[in-house]
Amino acid sequence: MELATSLLARLRDVRFVRYLVASVGALAVDMGAFLALLAGGMAAAPASAIGYTLGILAHWLMSSRAVFHGNVAQGGLARTRQKALFVISALLGLALTTAIVGLGDSAGIDPRAAKLVAIAVSFMATWLVRSRIVFCAPATGRGEA
């Protein structure tokens, strides 16, 4: 119940809603690749990792342009640092996703069901890191890659 209340409070935050929409777009890229690779015979954990990696690229583009556009560093070292932190947050999500799908698959759970659990865990973990660390301070950037 507390999680539901927390999520409803976050929905009042427009930035969180934009992040949710960007995450759905990145998830579409991720899941499309994941399901295609599974259908092609690839093992679940590597298929999950590849799909997630493609989703990372899509998420940076959407996050830097539509979600945290007012907090994107303008350029130089600050921009490089911000991109590196974004990638680190994505690697955290990738590790969580790969581990959850791999463990689920090893336990005999349908990889698609394990992926759904991984999506929720990864979403919350990356939101927290990105909103509190990666894009926490206002920047003078224009939200471009």
pLDDT in tens, 30-76: 889 999 999 999 998 899 889 988 998 899 889 888 888 888 888 88
- Dihedral sign from CA coordinates of 72, 77, 59, 113: negative
Report the chain's terminal Cα–Cα distance, integer Å.
38
- pTM, two decimals, is 0.68
Q: Distance (Å, rounded) from C-alpha 43 to C-alpha 46?
A: 6
Q: Distance (Å, rounded) from C-alpha 134 to C-alpha 102?
A: 28
Q: Distance (Å, rounded) from C-alpha 3 to C-alpha 8?
A: 9
State the Rg of the chain over Cα: 16
